[in-house]
Structure 1
Amino acid sequence: MHIILASASPRRRELIRQIHWEADIEPGHFPEVTDEDEALAFIRKEGLETAFAPFSHTDLVCAVNAFGKAKDAAARKGDALPVVGADTTVVLEGRVLGKPKDKEDAFSMLLSLSGRTHVVKTGMAILYRGKTSLSVTATEVTFRSLSEEEIRKYIETGEPMDKAGAYGIQGIGTLLVDTISGSYDNVVGLPLTVLYEKVNEIVG
């Protein structure tokens, strides 16, 4: 399968290679929404209420960002090939955690996740020849109880700073995790089985 991947993420690129698909990389430039209010404002502005109606309020941020990235990439590259946009968020007790603003924000996020279960959600949008497929995949992740020293040492590696929830499960952040329930690929940033099914569905 040949797709256009609307992402600059090396992690998503590696996941695509894992299933032996070919991807043209065309990062989608979209001013990401960070909360439900911004997501709803975008949906109303674009007249997409029906398309996004199935999603819960904590799904909307990643679903809107995935769609925005895919739409931007398709505007430049066309949609003769499936255009895939994705966005991953971390949700803790109904609160969406995006990428940390600075080290202290990362510390606050990781401390709040310590010893608790959160949900990683990846919104995915696929645009193909005028058709749109939207989905959100969820995985439960439970952290070990972390000491403040552990958290600060992890932050000093630099790994948390560009990742939702301030950790990367495919890197050193795997040591923070006790258990996961659901798709591991989803926590990395792209649920491969869902991608496979949705692309084949939209292509027909």
Structure 2
Amino acid sequence: MQQQVILASQSPRRKQLLEWAEVPFTIVVKETAETYPESMAIAEVPVHIARQKALAVREQLQSEKPAVDSPVILAADTVVVLGKRIIGKPKSRQDAIDTLTDLAGQRHDVITGVVILHQEKEISFYDVTHVEFHYLSADEIAFYVDKYKPYDKAGAYAIQEWIGVVGIKSIEGDFYNVMGLPVSRVVRALKDLSVL
């Protein structure tokens, strides 16, 4: 029996990936502070933020319809890591250019944390993809930032856009994880919960 999933994300990429996987879902988003303890291991950071998103949506749904059965809530968060540094979403054009300049010619990690809440159960995990960029010129970086405006993207890029098509030298791991959701692992987790 398929049960509708609540996607606690307004990311168009996560929406698209769930649609491609033919997972029935609706979107409910509650703004949360994307903060984490400074001592937290880097790989746990996106899981922690995803959990905050999922819990905030569950609380909102329970306050609106307390008698309704507990829905399946799926939340995710993606971080880009260069060395030991988490690179968030760029705050400005110059910030995006600086970020991509740092990533050019380097290998970095993209880590997506996933949390699924269903009744009293929580499934949480993270997936890591290693991405290496070719060297990118200042002109190429400025062209990408000005045309695609990647201000809502961790690491200031989307792998499915021009910069990924021409700038990625190698990928180890799940391509879709870099887009924002390790969708095959998510589908398997939903099947384990007998949601799909």
Amino acid at match of 1:114: A
Cα 1:90/1:36, change in 2 over 3 Å? farther
Give the corresponding residue for 2:120.
Answer: 130
Q: Is the 8 A contact 1:140 1:182 kept in 2?
A: yes
Alpha carbons 1:128, 1:203 under 8 Å: kept: no
- Determine if the alignment matches structure 1 residue 99 to structure 2 residue 119: no
1:69 equivalent to 2:53? Answer yes
Matching residue of 1:194: 185
The CA deviation at 1:77 is 2.4
Q: TM-score, normalised by structure 1?
A: 0.86
SS in 2 for 1:157: helix
Q: State TM-score, norm by structure 2.
A: 0.89
In the alignment of these two chains, the number of paired residues is 186
What are the residue-to-residue correspondences of 1:54-203 with 2, within 5 Å? 57-78=41-62, 80-174=70-164, 175-203=166-194
- How far is 1:173 from its partner? 2.5
The structure showing larger relative contact order (alpha-carbon pairs under 8 Å, at least 6 residues apart) is 2
The alpha-carbon deviation at position 108 of structure 1 amounts to: 1.1
> What SS does the aligned partner of 2:46 have?
helix
Q: Give the corresponding residue for 2:15.
A: 13
Q: 5+ residue gaps in structure 1? A: 41-56
Query: Structure 2: which 5+ runs fail to align?
Result: 63-68
Among all aligned residue pairs of Structure 1 and Structure 2, give the percentage whose two residues are the same amino acid.
34
Identify the residue that residue 5 of structure 2 maps to in structure 1: 3
